[in-house]
Amino acid sequence: MKTNIEKAGILIESLPYIRKFSGKTFVIKYGGAAMVDEKLKDAFAQDIVLLNFIGIKPVIVHGGGPKINSIMEKMGKTPTFVQGQRITDEETVDIVEMVLGGLINKQIVSLINSHGGLAIGLSGKDGNLIKAKKKVIRKLSPETGVPEIIDLGLVGEVEKINPKILDTIDESGFIPVIAPISAGTNTETLNINADYVAGEIASALKAEKLILLTDTEGILDKKNKLISTMNSRKIKSLVSKGTISGGMLPKVQACQNAISNNVGKTHIIDGRTPHALLLEIFTEEGIGTEIIK
- pLDDT band, very low/low/confident/very high, at 141 (cuts 50, 70, 90): low
Among candidate residues 60, 63, 62, the one with its CA nearest the CA of residue 27: 60
- pTM for the full predicted model: 0.90
- Report the CATH superfamily, name and number, of domain 22-288: Acetylglutamate kinase-like (3.40.1160.10)
| Residue 4 predicted with pLDDT over 60 | no
Average pLDDT, the chain: 89
Residue type (1 letter), 169: I
287 or 207, higher pLDDT? 207
Most confident of 8-22, 24-38, 47-61, 216-230: 47-61
Q: Angle at the Cα of 102 (from 111 to 25), degrees rounded to 5?
A: 55
Given this model, what pLDDT does residue 129 score? Answer: 96
* CA 198/CA 194 separation, integer angstroms: 6
**In 3D, which of 185, 209, 71 has the Cα closest to residue 134?**
185
pLDDT at 25 (0 to 100): 96
Do residues 139 and 83 touch, judged by C-beta distance below 8 A? yes
Query: Mean pLDDT, to the nearest integer, of 75-82?
Result: 85
* Domain parsing of the chain, residue ranges: 22-288
- Give CA angle at 129 (101, 105), nearest 5°: 20
Phi, psi of 223 (to 5 degrees): -95, 10
Per-residue pLDDT of 101-114, as tens digits, reads 989 999 999 999 99
pLDDT at 79: 85
- More confidently predicted of 2 and 269: 269
